[in-house]
Amino acid sequence: MRTVIVGNGMAGSRLVGELRSRDRRMPITVFGAEKARPYNRVMLSNVLAGASAPGDIHLTDPGWYADNDVDARLGLPITRIDRRERTVTSADGDVTPYDALVLATGSTPVVPPLPGLDAEGVVVFRTLEDCRAIVRHAESARSAVVVGGGLLGLEAARGLAGRGVPVTVVHRAGHLMDRQLDPEAGGVLRRTLHDLGVRTLLNARLSAARAEVGRVSGVELDDGTVLAADLVVLACGVRPETGLATASGLTVDRGVLVDDRLRSVDDPGVHAIGECAQHQGTVYGLVAPAWEQARVVADVLTGRTARYRGSRLVTRLKATGIELAAMGETGLGDDEAEVVRFTDPTRGTYKKIVIRDGLLVGAILLGETGTAGLLTQLYDRAEPLPADRLHLLFDGLGTGTPVDTPVRIPDTATVCRCNNVTKGRIRASWEAGARDVPGVAAETRATTGCGGCRDTVVGILEWLDRQDPGPHHEPGAEVSRL
């Protein structure tokens, strides 16, 4: 089965790997609009922050396509799909036939139709090239504005602040990351950002960008405010890239409509995954769902039974100095669900757990994410929750053995695990005359294994001596116990 994949971003490149790991021989051709080998978009914030070099975030090495017999046409967009002939035409005019076609065309950043946004210094934050441009501008920028206080905008702003560029985030809604956070969390996040050097303006709408000799010099807001900026990053959301699909007659709403096998509802020979697909009314904008979809399509195309049932969304902010995890329905209040909260504004900590019918349906962890792993797994698997909700908020509570004193532990308690010696037997050996560790060891073998119980044995002996100094006791005996 000749498989053609249009798009080599996070979804398309993942699908190539998934297919190849299942079927060594299936002919695979992948077209990528970008010239670069596929790279991890999640790591763009690392590049912006300077933690990763732009050349170090690729998802395949140069030899991979040849080694794995994959026909990769990079930097070559597709211009036309002919569904009747089952072919695609690439920008160079080549016509490639397919038995199965997968659209993984992703999305393009929204650029608001406002004056001035074509000036030099106004950039979107989407591709590795965009990222390089932002870094280049940041080197000389005196101040920057980020338009959009969502996930991507805040990561960009944090990266710029980390590079020493004063940065202001202009956000339309009443609180930051309003799609993932409740207003209270948004407020705590705003303060944390402020402490990291990121200024935020809420309920603020851009009306234009100002330019001087073709180069951006600032932005205007619709309330008349003017912000100076020689770098403007647009993070106003994305729009699914569905032009090809529409032109070939596939049903498109916001994305290409697909069924549970990620097949177009019009044509079983065409699949769509990632940000260009719409499943059960949802277009997903995160990596995890795209990769789940890639797995399902790889199964379907290699003859396995697999169905996509939608994804659970977990959002993580990748920004140095800010720990944030949000999942599910975070906006529900006490009247709609069981809500457990912990707030410590001075430390920038906000935690909220939303429970319905005994299951975790939403959560926000901000400032301290020690239980994010636990919560994500409980949320992903819809598992029963711990009886004590504290475990959901705080890591490391409730496990571990309570520290006890030699006095309080019962006689039946095992002191030396390696040789299965109880406190009672140590007491008995003391009563039989063993007054130091070697004596107890000779009698019971306690302390002769890993040696970890030595302090406890010394403690028990000291306590027994205090209870009853006895005929063997000599002043200062404690110091010679070892």
Partner 1 sequence: MPPTPTHCPYCALQCGMFVDAEAMITPREDVPANAGGALCQKGWTAGELLSAPDRVTAPLMRAHRDAPFERVSWEAALDRITAEVGRVQDRHGRDAVAVFGGGGLTNEKAYQLGKFARVALRTANIDYNGRFCMSSAAAAQNRAFGLDRGLPVPVTDVPEAGAILLAGGNVAETMPPFVRHLAAQRERGGRLIVVDPRETPTARLADLHLQLTPGTDLALANGLLHLAMTEGLIDEAYLARRVSGLEAVRTVVNAYWPERVERITGVPVPRLREAVRLLGTAARALILTARGAEQHATGTDTVTAFVNLALGLGLPGRPGSGFGCLTGQGNGQGGREHGQKADQLPGYRRIDDPAARRHVARVWGVRPEDLPGPGLSAAELLGALGTEDGPRALLVFGSNPVVSAPDSARVEKRLDALEFLAVADFVPSETAMRADVVLPTAQWAEETGTVTNLEGRVLLRRAARPRPAGVRDDLEIIAALAERLKAPGRFSTEPSEVFEELRAASAGGIADYSGITYERIVAETGVFWPCPGEGHPGTPRVFLDRFATPDGRARMVPVEHRGPVERPCADYPLHLTTGRVLAHYQSGAQTRRVRALVDAVPEAFVELHPDLAGRLGVDDGATVRVTSRRGSAVAKVRVCATIRRDTVFMPFHWAGAARANLLTNPALDPISRMPEFKVCAVRVDAVDQDRGTGSRG
Q: Note the residues at the interface with partner 1 (CB under 8 A).
A: 21, 39-40, 42-43, 46, 51-52, 56-64, 287-288, 314, 316, 318, 323, 325, 369-374, 376-377, 380-381, 383-384, 386-387, 395, 398-401, 417-420, 445, 448-452
Element (H, E) at 138: helix 128-140
Q: How far is the CB of 416 from partner 1 (least distance, A)?
A: 9
Closer to partner 1 at the Cβ: 183 or 451? 451
Closer to partner 1 at the Cβ: 51 or 196? 51
> What angle is formed at CA 231 by the lines to CA 228 and CA 235, rounded to 5 degrees?
110
Contact 114, 206 (CB under 8 A): yes
Burial class (CB in 10 A: 0-12, 13-18, 19+), 384: exposed
Closer to partner 1 at the Cβ: 373 or 470? 373
- Over the Cα atoms of the chain, what is R_g? 31
Q: How far is the CB of 20 from partner 1 (least distance, A)?
A: 11
Contact 81, 244 (CB under 8 A): yes
Closer to partner 1 at the Cβ: 156 or 365? 365
Q: How far is the CB of 104 from partner 1 (least distance, A)?
A: 16
The full length of the chain comes to: 482
Q: Hey, what are 326's tokens?
A: 């949000």
- Among 155, 192, 177, residue whose Cα is nearest residue 43: 155
Contact 348, 330 (CB under 8 A): no
Q: How far is the CB of 147 from partner 1 (least distance, A)?
A: 25
Contact 350, 343 (CB under 8 A): yes
Rounded CA separation 254/277 (Å): 8
Closer to partner 1 at the Cβ: 115 or 386? 386
Q: How far is the CB of 352 from partner 1 (least distance, A)?
A: 18
Closer to partner 1 at the Cβ: 48 or 123? 48
Residue 191 exposure: Cα atoms within 13 Å on the Cβ side: 14
Closer to partner 1 at the Cβ: 58 or 356? 58
